[in-house]
Amino acid sequence: MRPKVVITGMGVVSALGVGVKANGIALMQGISGIREARYLPTEHREFPVGEVQLSSEELRQMLELPDGRLYSRTHLFGAAALREALSMTNLLEHKGLALISGTTVGGMDVTESLFPNPLPKGQPDVHDCGASTNDIADSCGDFDYTSTVSTACSSAMNALIMGKLLIENGERDIVVAGGSEALSKFHLNGFKSLMILDRERCRPFDKTRSGLNLGEGAAFLVLESEESALKRGAQILGVLSGAGNACDAHHQTASSDNGEGACRAMTQALSNAGLLSANIDYVNAHGTGTPNNDASESAALKRVFGAQLPPVSSTKSYTGHTTSASGSIEAAFCLMALWNGFIPVQPEFENPDEQCIIPVSGSEALSVDLHHVMCNAFGFGGNDSSIILSRYE
């Protein structure tokens, strides 16, 4: 029998603030962090973003990292979120931990700041995705295993799924998993070239939606076997009860009309958790605000849940689409919702679309008793992932 995988710590950095408390308050009060770019050196200020409201230097000082080198924001966000997660469950001094982090941008912001000049003497190369994971680990404790997942916007969720598998297969008792992603010019310009950026705050599932807002941030969850958590006397925040991943390879960037990959991922997650669709109390949708994604995900949700569709909302109208980090940031939001008994609403939703589901809207979070929550993260190429977080009984 596979061990139960529980969650004993989490840390979050997003446009809503630094730390679980700041993010939870903003979600419950319906306060968005999307605004005009302040720290990203871009000329395209017509596109609002979900930027973390601290400079890289302020983040470095907050983390008390040595001066004299350039730090990627991916590294800095990740270190802040990881430290909070480890501190929450008293693992800051623990030796021999495993870290799995999802990212695609890595240290691209540093590379852009130096281009076309070479690296300064003594400056380590931080561009590589794996380098950012190792930097995050080195800033936070004693890790003897690191791994980097880069599957576009499903990266961080796939890191969580990989962590779950390591524990279930007896490879590890504790795995810290999640992801970190920083905004970069290449990042913003790439999505601009796809013509899927909105000039206003994004409106997932709304008939007037015209694209996404990019965001940045990080989140890490401490995954642990139930036996290990009980032995340590750790507080258990929830259970990572189910996980699914599928790839329909429909198109490089677009989702299939019938949401085939998304449907398979959600179905696998339900099967893995031993649950029926009727057991799900809330779905945190991928919900980017692009016409294609929202229609495709709606089709998949209808296939999975039929007439018994639970409350659904997208939190990307709060943080922007944090791309590779979105799966862990939104998993952390789901854990907050599960723990505190609320459903985040979509303040920007006004106009139903016959092609889409109708999300939960309003000005403040709904107070609801939750037992099982589903969270979706879908990446380019049809790499689609879904997890289920459950209350610990």
Which amino acids are annotated catalytic?
Answer: 153, 286, 321
Cis check: omega of the bond before 116, within 30 degrees of 0: yes
Angle at 339 between CA 334 and CA 215, to 5 degrees: 30
- Which CA distances in Å does 118 have to 125, 184, 319, 366? 10, 18, 34, 52
What residues pair up with 312 in beta bridges, in sequence order?
A: 283
Which whole-number Å values give the CA distances from 261 to 236, 257, 295, in the listed order? 32, 10, 14
**Structure tokens that stand for 274 in this block:** 């031993």
Could you tell me where the DSSP H helices lie in the chain?
20-29, 56-63, 73-88, 108-114, 129-138, 155-168, 185-193, 226-232, 260-273, 291-305, 316-319, 326-340
Residues 6+ apart with CB under 8 A from 373: 280, 281, 282, 283, 284, 334, 337, 338, 388, 389, 390
The SS3 assignment for 99 reads: strand
Place of tokens 């561009």: 127
CA pair distance 316, 256, nearest whole angstrom: 21
For residue 178, the 8-state DSSP code is: E
C-alpha span between 97 and 221 (Å, rounded): 13
Q: List alpha helices for 179-220, DSSP H.
A: 185-193
220, 10 in Cβ contact below 8 A?
Answer: yes
- Residue recorded with tokens 């596109």: 47
3-state DSSP call for residue 129? helix
CB atoms closer than 10 angstroms to residue 2: 12
